[in-house]
Amino acid sequence: MTRQRSHGLRAWLGLLVILCPVLLVSMDGSILFLAMPRISAALSPTADQALWLLDVYGFAVGSLLIAFGNLGDRYGRLRLLMIGAAVFGAGSAGAAFAPNVELLIAFRALMGVAGATLLPSALAVLSELFPDPRRRARAIGIFAATFAAGFAIGPVVGGVLLERFWWGSVFLINLPVIALFLLLGPVLLREARATRPGRVDALSVLSSAGGLLLASYGIKHAAADGLSAVPVAAVVAGACLLVWFARRQRELEHPLIDFSLFRDRVFALAILTGLLPLAAWSAAAYLAGMYLQSVLDVPVLRAALLALPGAAVLTVVCVVTPAVIDRVGKRTALAACHLCVAAGLLLLLLTGVSGGIGWYVASTVVAGVGYGISFSVVADTAVAAVPVERAGSASAIAETSNELGNALGIALLGSLAALVFRLQGPDLAPTLDETRRLAEVAPAAVAEAKAAFVTGLHVAAAVAAALHAVLGVLVLRLLARPSAPGDGSARAGRRRARVEG
């Protein structure tokens, strides 16, 4: 009995240690949202450089997540977890003291690469700590809630730090947490390997990451500077690489992404529910943070406190959703996710140049319900929709959809807002902060720039809300239909019925 208690205590202590890097990886996906005005004042990034600062981290994590999951299976998950944590700490230190925007982007990319090693390895090591299925399920729920909370509190932590310290402090805060993990990890955690790991296809990794980055570069460049040969060529080249990547996956014995899983409509809608809400959340959080500080001139600490209600709702909903799903079913939960996000985003349309703080807080609270459902339900729904032997691939795709959604939201919706600003602003500089820093700018021009930024925020919010409303309706329509005869085994039919609630 004493030995079992000792083992149980060690497992829960190990879980606490694992949650350290998990919290950092998710928090660093959003911690810059309130820091961008300070970074812009210190390093003067261009419009597309500012967007790269925000989303190169998410692109690196999302593009490499599955590849590093396979590498951990082959060479040892704990070993990769320790290496990734050390690199994440080094990247954080470099970012904190970066003397220019180019190096800051490079260190953010390095942090993203390290982050991609941490998430799949941490989840695998956690599973080894809890052989009992019930305790493992509880531990994974805590893992998911921590990951969601990191996204939610990132801007809050960033705002609190910026009230007292310089912008680099949002990166330096990672170092003591990483040091604690590197000290305790080898003591409390055990190595874990898969018995038959698959081969990692380097061409697939390079083509997926390269395609995403080229396409994003082209979109951002066109939004900031207008159409020209360079951004068009980048978008075309990126699209071609992504198409080639998708076709290559069909030929591989161990593909990075098993696209055949998307034939199941439940799985496809679950992955979209992982991608789209994160895209809307990241873009809205970034643009709203800029709105509060650069349009309404709200101090950074107050802006951070204004984000607390939405963060609290998101975290609580993430925790309670599994219990609620037992009563309402996953079909209803998926639909509620998208409709709540759409309603919350529409509230941002009521913000204006002279005021709108109350509407912003209401938006984060209403949309936070949808974001919390997304974090809680996506992975389980995706896994339940596929055969047991493909659960690993489904889980990896679900995690990847979250990270890519976080990056794509800023890349696409942020670029859309930048395009609106360029078309409607005073044409003095490509961003609002750059316009305000011009010494000779007239008050009327500043007012015009603020109005253009608010219009860009409204357009991005309206587009994201429309997409969520459409997806919510699709969930209600498609998942309400019974399975067609002959489209799967009896087990698949029972599985689909369970998902549809």
What pLDDT, in 10s, does the model give residues 424-481? 888 887 778 778 877 677 888 888 999 999 999 999 999 999 999 999 998 888 876 4
Q: Which of 405, 451, 493 is nearest to 55 (CA)?
A: 405
Query: Same domain, yes or no, for 445 and 350?
Result: yes
Write down the pLDDT at residue 500: 45
Write down the pLDDT at residue 487: 41
Asked whether 122 and 81 are in contact (CB, 8 A), the reply is yes
Write down the pLDDT at residue 484: 43
Question: Can you read off the two tokens belonging to residue 348?
Answer: 């941002």
Q: Which of 204, 286, 261, 207 is nearest to 33 (CA)?
A: 286
Query: Same domain, yes or no, for 88 and 170?
Result: yes
Query: Same domain, yes or no, for 282 and 356?
Result: yes
Query: Same domain, yes or no, for 315 and 390?
Result: yes
Query: Same domain, yes or no, for 316 and 285?
Result: yes
Exposed/middle/buried for residue 320 (C-beta within 10 Å: 0-12, 13-18, 19+): middle
Query: Same domain, yes or no, for 338 and 421?
Result: yes
Write down the pLDDT at residue 496: 47
* Cα(485)–Cα(369) distance, integer angstroms: 36
Residue ranges in the chain modelled with pLDDT below 70: 1-7, 70, 72-75, 123-124, 127, 133, 137, 191-199, 224, 383, 386, 388-393, 395, 439, 480-501
CB atoms closer than 10 angstroms to residue 329: 17
State how far Cα 430 lies from the chain centre.
26
DSSP state of 481: S
Write down the pLDDT at residue 118: 80
Query: Same domain, yes or no, for 178 and 271?
Result: no
Q: What share of the chain is helix, strand, coil (3-state, %, to 5)?
A: 80, 0, 20
pTM of the model: 0.77
3-state secondary structure of 34: coil
Structural domain span for residue 291: 261-501
E-only strand ranges, 230-320: none
Write down the pLDDT at residue 480: 63
Q: How many domains does the chain have?
A: 3
38: domain CATH number is 1.20.1250.20
* Cα(286)–Cα(453) distance, integer angstroms: 12
* Cα(408)–Cα(55) distance, integer angstroms: 7
Query: Same domain, yes or no, for 136 and 222?
Result: no
Task: Provide the terminal-to-terminal Cα distance of the chain, rounded to the nearest Å.
Answer: 40
193 contact partners, CB below 8 Å, separation of at least 6:
73, 74, 75, 76, 77
Query: Same domain, yes or no, for 120 and 171?
Result: yes
In the block, residue with structure tokens 């493909």? 390
Query: Same domain, yes or no, for 56 and 160?
Result: yes
